[in-house]
Amino acid sequence: MSRRSTAAAAALPASTGLHVVGLDVAKDTLAACLATLTDARTLRIVHQPATDFVNTPTGIALLIKWLRRYTPAAAPLRVVCEATGTYHEELAYTLHAEGIELSVCQPLQAKQFARSTSTKSKTDALDARLLAQFGLERALPLWQPFHPLQRTLRAVLREQATVRTLRAQVLVRLHAYGHSHQPNEQIIKRLKEQQAFCETQIADITTQLIDLVAQHEPLRQVVQRLQTIPGLGFQTVLTILAETNGFTTTTNARQLLSYAGLDVVQGQSGTSVRLRARISKRGNAHLRTALYLPAVSALRHNPQQAAFFERLRLRQPTGKGPVVAVMRKLLALAYSLYQSKQSYDPTRSQAAHRTKKIAATDNAAAATQDGETEVAPPILAPKVRKKTPKFATLTQ
């Protein structure tokens, strides 16, 4: 099997000789460990350098040269590392360009796997070894690079969100200080200058986003189609597309909701533990933040979503559960329209889709546009308590 083949997308048995390089990525260094599994399914360290590689293009080139030197020519090879913000991106894109398979796992996954082992200490070398073992024992998905356009959109949109937060902070400070006793005029002047600067930056970023969309006709058509959903505007649609790499990070709506951290988590054990269902929030926080206000807006401008919200509000009079349910529906609806290449149709009846669930297939066109995509969302399901027999009945 060729090293550059993508056939080894899942973890392979030990007989195939799969070799995994565990990389502990830091800002300046890369701790590496090359390992494989024996026929007895035990870990065998092939080679572990005494010194770390430098996390620079030159250091990454030396890393590639090292792993090709110690990996058998006929053995499949994969690299496993943790997601570290931006410190792993240069490594990931370089390995992908070289045709080397890479899996980027979440830090929580690696931490929980380390807890399942007998390792008590924690060093960069031990972390690299655990990551290699993790890649050998688990079927990890392969990392796929972002499309250059989507990567640019994501960076620009995140910059805009940061500037908006700064502007909100300046406005709060300006309002509070302006109502204080004998405020200093120079401080007020500087705060107003900061506000004007932020507004100028937001305007420039908005212009850049409009130009990027106008220059790419396929993207412009997708944005226009998704904007037909009541509640989703230009910024929100771009954020959804950019944060999901054009919906290529997932294969169905359920995975998409999990990627956004909107999947439902339940806690139940025996008869005594009955925790209230909630969303996991283990996902893309930028995506969740972008969907909240559109969900609130949809309650005003989408009669079907408003009716859906009111039905859920009867079950849960307090809390944000019904709003979160609308967020889930909007995201699943955007995914469905993207896959089916259709515009939003407000005339579609809810009764026709009431029993359908969010499509868990590659063809998301079957997902409903509106109506109850879930018969009774677990996060909003009322607690069912068993009736306790009366004492007189028990004594008969």
Give the pLDDT score at 22: 96
Quote the pLDDT of residue 261. 92
Query: Which candidate, 230, 201, 263, places its Cα nearest to that of 337?
Result: 230
Residue with tokens 């007020």: 188
Q: What pLDDT score was predicted for residue 3?
A: 40
Evaluate whether 8 touches 1 at the Cβ level (below 8 Å): yes
- Single out the residue of 209, 215, 200 nearest to residue 154, CA to CA: 209
Give CA angle at 58 (146, 95), nearest 5°.
35
pLDDT at 275: 80
The span from the CA of 343 to the CA of 128, in Å, is 48
Report the alpha-carbon distance of residue 159 to residue 201 in Å, rounded. 10
The pTM (predicted TM-score) of the whole model is 0.78
CA dihedral 192, 194, 197, 198 (to 10 degrees): -110
Per-residue pLDDT at 103: 95
Taking the CA atoms of the chain, what radius of gyration do you get in angstroms? 26
- Domain borders along the chain are 14-137, 148-215, 238-380
Parallel/antiparallel/unpaired status of strands 77-82 and 19-25: parallel
Amino acid, res. 311: R
Which amino acid does the sequence have at 233? G
State whether CATH 3.90.550.10 applies to domain 14-137: no
For the chain, the helix, strand and coil percentages under 3-state DSSP, each to the nearest 5:
50, 10, 35
Mean pLDDT per block of 10 residues along the chain (396 residues) reads: 38 60 95 93 92 95 94 91 92 95 92 90 94 94 92 96 96 95 95 97 96 94 94 94 92 92 86 82 92 92 88 84 92 93 76 40 39 37 42 38
Copy the structure tokens of residue 125.
């070398």
Supply the pLDDT for residue 15. Answer: 38
